[in-house]
Structure 1
Amino acid sequence: MVPVTRPIAVVGPTATGKSDLGLDLAERLGGEIVNIDAMQQYRGMDIGTAKLHAEDRRGIAHHQLDVLDVTETATVARYQAAAVADVEAIRARGAVPVIVGGSMMYVQALLDEWAIPDTDPSVRAKWEAVLAEGGVAAVHEALRAVDPQAAATILPTDGRRMVRALEVVEITGAPFAASAPQIGTPRWDTIIVGVDRETEELDERIRLRTELMFETGLVDEVTALTEQGLRAGVTARQAIGYAQTLAYLDGEYDLAEAQERTFIGTRRYVRRQRSWFRRDKRVCWVDAARPDLTEHVLTLTG
């Protein structure tokens, strides 16, 4: 076994092969997996998040999977506290934490000791009402009035993040950027490995994965989750694939359009992930297509 005392984070765009690499590393290093994909925290959201089946986890312990009901709101603060506890418990057992996923703000919260501003339910509800009534244009305009920099940097289609920015500005009286973490040495001196592929190859993987999701029961999964309150959830129902399938069930799209919109949404999200992670100079990038991928990454951990 390669001697490793530090955690390893395997991050990067969706559909690059992070889960398989994470399993290989955990198997070789005597590690346990800590999920850092926001939507894989939800019980029952399996097909649309490409969650590994229990029988495919090679007997390796996984943490922060299936910890939320679809009616619960996924928050960075909740994840941060729980995942920090998991990583420290794994290290205390003498095992290697292998942190795997691509949720950008979650990665930053876990590895950069982000002091996340508190949330205020009444303030959050006020801005969520603005979003519900006026759409993303209304919250974008409100944000531009109080924090032009945040309005310019947050995607104008990202209603949830704009709501959070408005909440933080109102609570703290400071610009949203003031609450951002400072980039330095990662918590626990974590080794950060970024996994990527050529764009054309990755686009094809996304298309094939999207087709497989719909072929293997995504519509049935979403239908079952609606009976568990999916529509009442704030974050779960907005997940890529789930939002489009709900629209199909509501008659807004036909099935082919729901599938195509899922592919397009995933591809757009991948571009955002790539841009976000590429700005972090601490990330050591690897090509997921190389045949000696695991061996190569193990040389980075010595």
Structure 2
Amino acid sequence: MRPVAVIGPTGTGKSDLALDLAERHGGEIVNVDAMQLYRGMDIGTAKVPPEARRGIPHHQLDVLEVTETASVATYQHSARADVEAILAAGRLPVIVGGSMMYIQSLLDDWEFPATDPGVRARYEAELAQRGVSVLHRRLAEVDPAAAAAILDSDARRVVRALEVVELTGRPFAASAPQIGEPRWSTLIVAVDRDTDELDERLRRRTELMFEAGLVDEVEGLVQHGLRDGVTASRAIGYAQVLDVLDGRLDVDTAREQTFFGTRRYVRRQRRWFRRDRRIHWCDGADPALVDKVSDLLRRPPSG
């Protein structure tokens, strides 16, 4: 039995499809959404609540405190162990999520360059003092391709790219994985929807998050050190609510910025996933979606 990875843009219906597949084929879920690794980050990440998981085991959920920094390398090691344990038990691993680098770390051969705490600390200190835009401009000088691929607001990836360039003397992209046969011959399906339809789903989802108590969730997480978290505090929705709590935004503006930030992220996900020729694209609105993916699972791997 080979795994199936249900990936694609945010808000397309990946979680529902993953649950349907796991229920039908005797599977277990392996999360590949970086922000769902965090305990307590539930509403703003659209995490499936325990009572809605249909009794299906879920892995790589709620494994980090908000003060901890999510690491692709650490995730790769832990999630690969989960998938192999599920396979060894004769069950179907259903990998689901949309975090692009995490997906690639799980399915492709990817050896991560070493890190140097001193170099990292130096860039982090400069980040705190001068801001991400300054570091992004420096990255553009030493590695234009990396700067073009990394948003000028993505402080953590900018710092990591500068660190890798300094330590290896090579462009950041030189350490990226090559797309080949996916690990375990995994079937990769991506769920998408019509853009206008998806935009409406994202707007409604954002509204529901705020109605369901996102502000209260963030207030509670602040008590557990959210502001000290390098990764968690910058998540879409959480960063905007922190600005509300600090008086920099009102709730309506935070809601609107969360929607637009999510929509921009969807565009990035689409660009990233579209370059992967291994992916079978599916319409999230198709009522026969689970049947079609099940049919793909029954076929032998190509190549």
1:12-48 residue CA offsets vs partner (Å, 9 max, x unmatched)? 0000000000000001111100000000000000000
1:109 matched to 2:105? The reply is yes
57, 80, 85: which one aligns with 1:84:
80
Q: Secondary structure at the match of 1:162?
A: helix
Deviations 1:140-185 (A, max 9, x none): 1221232222122222222221111011111222110110001100
Q: Does 1:242 align with 2:201?
A: no
Q: Are 2:285 and 1:289 aligned?
A: yes
Query: Letter of the aligned partner of 1:98 in structure 2?
Result: V
Q: What is the distance in 1 between the residues matched to 2:39 and 2:147? A: 33
Look up the match of 2:127: 131
Pairing partner for 1:17 from 6, 13, 17: 13
TM-score with structure 2 length normalisation?
0.97
The residue number in structure 2 matching 1:225 is: 221
SS at match of 2:131: helix
Q: Determine whether 1:256 maps to 2:262.
A: no
Aligned: 1:44 with 2:40: yes
Letter of the 1:50 counterpart = A
Match of 1:67 among 46, 63, 66: 63
Gaps of 5+ in 2: 299-303
Superposition TM-score, scaled by structure 1 size? 0.97
Could you say which residue in structure 2 is the equivalent of 1:26?
A: 22
C-alpha distance in 2 between matches for 1:246 and 1:152: 28
Q: CA RMSD, aligned part only? A: 0.8
TM-fit CA distance, 1:119: 2.0
Q: Which residue of 1 aligns with 2:150?
A: 154
3-state SS of 1:122 partner: helix
1:145 paired to 2:156: no
| Partner-residue secondary structure (3-state), 1:301 | helix
Match of 2:196 among 200, 203, 227: 200
Deviation at 1:265? 0.4
Task: Tell me the equivalent position of 1:277.
Answer: 273
**Structure 2: how far apart are the matches of 1:20 and 1:264?**
24
How many angstroms does 1:113 deviate by? 2.0
- Mapped partners of 2:122, 2:37: distance in 1: 26
**Paired residue for 1:100, among 96, 101, 118?**
96
Q: Tell me the CA shift for residue 256 of structure 1.
A: 0.2
Please give the per-residue CA displacement for 1:191-227, whole angstroms capped at 9, x wherever unaligned.
Answer: 0000000000000000000000000110000000000
SS of equivalent residue, structure 1 residue 13: coil
3-state SS of the aligned residue for 2:210?
helix
State the identity %.
69
**Separation (CA, whole Å) in 2 of partners of 1:181 and 1:133:** 33
Query: How big is the shift at 1:136?
Result: 2.0
